[in-house]
Amino acid sequence: MDVDDEIIKPKADEEKDRKPIVVILVGAPGSGKSTFCDQVMRVSTRPWVRVCQDTIGNGKAGTKAQCLAISSASLKDKKSILIDRCNLDKEQRADFIKLKDSYLADVHAVVLDLPAKLCISRSVKRTGHEGNLQGGKAAAVVNRMLQKKELPKLNEGFTRITFCQNEKDVQEAINAYGALSSSDVLPSGIFGEKKTDTKVQLGIMKFLKRVDAPIKVTSDEKIPEPSNETIKDNRHVNEGQEQSGNHPLDGVPTLAFPSISTADFQFNIEKASEIIVETVEEFVKKIGNGRLVLVDISHGSKILSLVKSKAAIKKIDSTKFITFVGDITKLRSGGGLHCNVIANAANWRLKPGGGGVNAAIYDAAGPDLDIATKKKAGSLVPGNAITVSLPSTSPLYSKQGVTHIIHVLGPNMNPKRPNCLKDDYNIGCKVLREAYSSLFENFASIVRTQEKSSDHEFSNCDKKARKEDGACVNEKNKKLKGFTDVPESNNLCSVDAKQNAASSGKTGGSLNKDWGSWAQAIYRIAMNPDKHRNDVVEILDDVVVLNDIYPKAQKHLLVVARAEGLDRLADVTQEHLPILRTMHDVGMKWAHSFLQENQSLVFRLGYHSVPSMRQLHLHVISQDFNSKHLKNKKHWNSFNSPFFRDSVDVIQEITEEGKPTLNDDEKFISMELRCNRCRSAHPNIPRLKSHITICKSPFPANLLQNNRLLQKTPDKDGNAC
């Protein structure tokens, strides 16, 4: 590492606002933390304060609270600090990371990840140690601490993480921090991270005799750290953006995408850059904690330069969108940038080859990508995108951590290629904008499903059901037509099913959800209702109406939106109010028609907070719940607890607040069984059903207000059909 190349010199008018740095040292006793601090402070012209818990109490060991107090006082004086503690787990680091919010500091981690044997040897041999950790007892302490080690990640709140795995790495890190003046900064991201060599891992396993769980040894290639050239190039590309912006890392959903249509399809680069920035600006607010990265393999790329400057003018959040120089198929191993989703500039036939990004991605992913793509589609229309889940057997998955490929097709201005628009940029710009919008919407859907899956999962599917593409499905579902939002099984299965076990294992336990094939059924009908006329009762421009195949009452319909990108209630915003009102009106029309046939019925219209099938759908359900398909507590509570959101309330909340409330806590589904009229409790479904057939109590007051119930006879408040 060339220190002069790595340090970024700010402009003169930026120096006065330069942030202090909090460097959190991470390492076992004997890893050299105190030596690191001493050497940095000896040579640096930046004002540093060492915060050491071993000596903070007037030369004696103190507490973490004392360390935080000294740290706060130092940052208030605009001094940078070196946190000299072991900080080996996320919890120990968290309070120090929070200091950045109060003092606008950059927080770095320097990980002294030296061999365990070396740390123990140093600790045993030393004398006069500040914390009195020396001699024979040191080996047991180091051994125990290393077993609990959690390496830091950027999503904890770090701006920069430097991994040091040998003495040379440590000295380079000392040089980098020692060379900083009071106004210099270091580029953000991860530096020096390497996979541990198999022989080294085996050595650690042998040396650390009391290990609770064996270290998994893999045969994956070692990932080289970024070269100085790569660091310099990416620093150049991101000039003008906030230096504190984190690089996307494990646990943060990240889409890497190339410039669509500007290479072989010869689309005007200036026009393309405008469209990229405009669509990025639109979607950064829709992708949750996800991030977008525009990638080009060329140093000095014109498209990157144009996009970077336009994004800076629009002040697009650099923690949500960056540009990057590198090979899109080797971002993790070649640039330290982990992107779990990458976009492919595909051809209309969705075939491998042809050169450029398409050929590179298919080559890197292996035959698995072609097989998975063919299962999804045989061709692609310009302006559209489709998502393909990569099997864990794909090299692009196992080596680069890519779980999804989004194929996207833009407009063509090359007369030697199919569907040339012959320089018609009126159409071309429209198609390119649609392509990026479709790409980002596909990515937003992945982000939403990951967030919901990690936050909430009502129950686990049995092993047999997991084999059916991750959805909870019974064998008889395959033979029946029609659709249900609450499966016939004894579990209310969240549609947030696991994509596959390997995927969740790769992402630290968070579920990487795709809608299973069974859960896609009503989506397929909504998008192509003419192909499923035997399964629908009404087809309109904006909605289709289906009978629920497992009705939970005498009358039970689903009114399904036909809009792309509306998978569930969580996706709804104010722009979707027209279609929500249409769905409500259609549901009311059908309820009225049923009431003409049977005036004793009472209807409720609403949504499940977390549906079990893809595509936003409204339940129109009679309140008798007289159905053989209503079998268990989860079936009942999905319609008779706050988990069920009344349509009128959803429309009102979105109108006033911009989004609906999602009562998706599992406690609502596991509530005791209570009558939907008198609210009396019952021990089981048969007893409850027996009671509701004779219960004549009025419905609860909250349901009798705001037209939540639709009935023929007016209630006492005058809310009637």
Element (H, E) at 390: none
Task: Tokens 């504190």: give the residue.
Answer: 244
* pLDDT tens per residue across span 498-521: 333 333 333 332 223 356 556 788
The whole-number pLDDT of residue 134 equals 58
> Reduced to 3 states, what is the DSSP secondary structure of residue 698?
coil
The whole-number pLDDT of residue 10 equals 57
The residue length of the chain stands at: 721
DSSP code at position 482: S
Task: Tokens 């998994």: give the residue.
Answer: 216
The domains found in the chain, sorted by start residue, are 3-225 (3.40.50.300), 231-451 (3.40.220), 485-711 (3.30.428.10)
Segments in 507-625 forming alpha helices (H): 521-527, 577-597
Residues in contact with 625: Cβ distance below 8 Å, sequence separation at least 6, in sequence order = 552, 553, 636, 639, 676, 689, 692
Structure tokens at 103: 């003092």
DSSP code at position 479: G
Give the residue numbers marked as catalytic. Answer: 617
Structure tokens at 568: 């569930």
- With contact defined as beta carbons under 8 Å apart, do 714 and 720 qualify? yes
The whole-number pLDDT of residue 6 equals 58
CA distance 405 to 460: 27
> Reduced to 3 states, what is the DSSP secondary structure of residue 271?
helix
> Reduced to 3 states, what is the DSSP secondary structure of residue 621?
strand
CA distance 677 to 505: 45
Secondary structure (H, E, C), 450-470: HHHHHHCCCCCCCHHHHHCCC
- Strand segments, DSSP code E, in 505-554 are 538-539, 543-547
Residues in contact with 718: Cβ distance below 8 Å, sequence separation at least 6, in sequence order = none
The whole-number pLDDT of residue 251 equals 58
Residue 111 phi, psi dihedral angles, 5° rounding: -100, 110
Residue 166 phi, psi dihedral angles, 5° rounding: -160, 175
Residue ranges, the chain, pLDDT below 70: 1-18, 127-137, 194-251, 450-518, 713-721
> Reduced to 3 states, what is the DSSP secondary structure of residue 688?
helix
CA distance 285 to 301: 27
The whole-number pLDDT of residue 8 equals 63
Sign of CA dihedral 154, 158, 162, 165: negative
> Reduced to 3 states, what is the DSSP secondary structure of residue 101?
helix
* pLDDT tens per residue across span 577-592: 999 999 999 999 999 9
The whole-number pLDDT of residue 56 equals 85
- With contact defined as beta carbons under 8 Å apart, do 146 and 117 qualify? no
Task: Tokens 């045969």: give the residue.
Answer: 219
Task: Tokens 């080797």: give the residue.
Answer: 330
Task: Tokens 């048969």: give the residue.
Answer: 686
C-alpha distances (whole Å) from 63 to each of 95, 129, 571 are 13, 17, 46
CA distance 69 to 59: 16
Angle formed by the axes of helices 425-455 and 269-283, to 10°?
Answer: 30
Structure tokens at 6: 């790595």
The whole-number pLDDT of residue 224 equals 35
- With contact defined as beta carbons under 8 Å apart, do 265 and 412 qualify? yes
Percent of the chain with pLDDT over 70: 77
- Own/partner contacts of 347-356, CB < 8 Å, gap of 24 or more, are 347/409, 348/379, 348/380, 348/381, 348/382, 348/409, 348/418, 348/419, 349/378, 349/379, 350/374, 350/377, 350/378, 350/379, 350/380, 350/407, 354/264, 355/264, 356/263, 356/264
Please report, to the nearest 10 degrees, the dihedral formed by the alpha carbons of residues 115, 120, 121, 125 taken in order: 150
Structure tokens at 75: 């940052």
CA 418, 422, 423: angle at the middle one, nearest 5?
130
Q: Enumerate the β-bridge partners of residue 345.
A: 408
Structure tokens at 644: 């069920």
C-alpha distances (whole Å) from 554 to each of 284, 418, 604, 628, 652 are 44, 54, 13, 10, 28
Q: What letter represents residue 442's amino acid?
A: N
The whole-number pLDDT of residue 712 equals 77
The whole-number pLDDT of residue 399 equals 86
Angle formed by the axes of helices 33-43 and 167-178, to 10°?
Answer: 30
Q: Enumerate the β-bridge partners of residue 681.
A: 674
Sheet of strand 404-408: strand arrangement: 321-325, 291-296, 254-257, 341-345, 404-408, 385-389
